[in-house]
Structure 1
């Protein structure tokens, strides 16, 4: 089977105006996503990982057509989702869906879960009412629920069950691409494994392409074909999952790998502790933003911003160590 580029981000940037206290200067700009470019191949999973506040969720909303970029573009099978034709824009709800981190806030407490899932079918007038209900009950069973759960409300289910409902809702229009924004981070570890296995099975059955976002590199490594690492709005490393775990190049990626807990009682991680706090996105340091925390910092890191390099085939990194 040939591999084709399904979704492509081209120099995507998103800035926000941040109001200052009274009697201060004019509002400043916060760059949440800074010149991000990457590709996702059809039928694969891209893992997007980084600490809280690095811009993952902002990028997810841009890809899901929920938040416009300040500059740059997103192409879906070669068509711009932000500057394309009206036909492309109108087709996006059927092609791109999103699974949110917290199913409690993303599900309407006044609607039964069946009605919440069916709402998209009603809006797009897909099939007749009886057919729509059949689609929903079939989906509920496919994600591990029961058909009789159709009439129950979100508060009657556990966190894992609510996330299964959210997954069913994302599938109801038969999309091609799903953005999973911290889709398992609020769940217990055992439930996480069940939901991750469900997502993997659904990808095979429905031919889905995923963008899987998390701060947990171990979880991302379990489900992803490629991994992009973000730090303060910029990509710092992008390669296949195997290459990243075998030979992480960027010191920040190495730090994230060392932070993964070792599941052996009594055994401690051998990683070297990192020093320094994350800089404020409003007052980024000169040069490389990571140099204030990097154990391999060089004088050039404090003065010159690094360039995006392909160090090995399909292994890109943003670091002076490999210039």
Structure 2
């Protein structure tokens, strides 16, 4: 009886979390479409100018923020299980840096403006290479959490150094694109780039349904195999999917860190570790955080707009330091 009560209370906590995050996400979407230099009611734009501003600028920006936030949060939650590391995250581990490095290489190999699918493929390939390095080290060398983080930071610094070199060989257009990717922004997203979402959303939905298998993986490889999970095949699928989501996110909005670190950790801390609930709620909360941060980036300064990556880093970096101190104390 006590076990049933415990399960019911736990499910009730998750239910409250889903409802609260869902309502907050709707509010964030309304504010994202409404707030700016001109206040617009999304269902009642006043004139052609407001309609163009809403449809051509704010709506693509919102959809990009939702997709990137959800993708990074779920990718972070999956990486934390895959690497057995509660501090794993695409930005901290350098995976986003690998995607941006591949985009820079593509920019110089193909100086014309690449198609959205080509940029996503290049970013996915860069993210995949860095992910394989980290997974190989975590499994074969059995490196500690601290060393894995240091390796990820080193990979990020390496990719950042190459990108910095690229500044000196760039024309004005390429330089603006590099700054766009490095600082993280969804301000320049248009409808043609959002064709990536036709791939991202189905894959993201599939990944959110893999929570039960991830719960088995958390028990250990031997136990998961005994319970019928093909661990090797499942792990490789996760690596490919995470690389694709991170690559698409970087191709759309540049390098945006800490979402995949902060969101899953806080949800585990407050609600529990069941991945079948954690993954979809991470997607909702990650989308909420990035949509809210993008709205803040537009209104914090009266005459300028902050890159959303700066806003997210300002929130995520202190939380990351707190997590490091907390894990050291534990």
State TM-score, norm by structure 2. Answer: 0.25
Larger radius of gyration: 1
1 or 2 for the larger relative contact order (CA 8 Å, sep ≥6)?
2
Higher helix share: 2
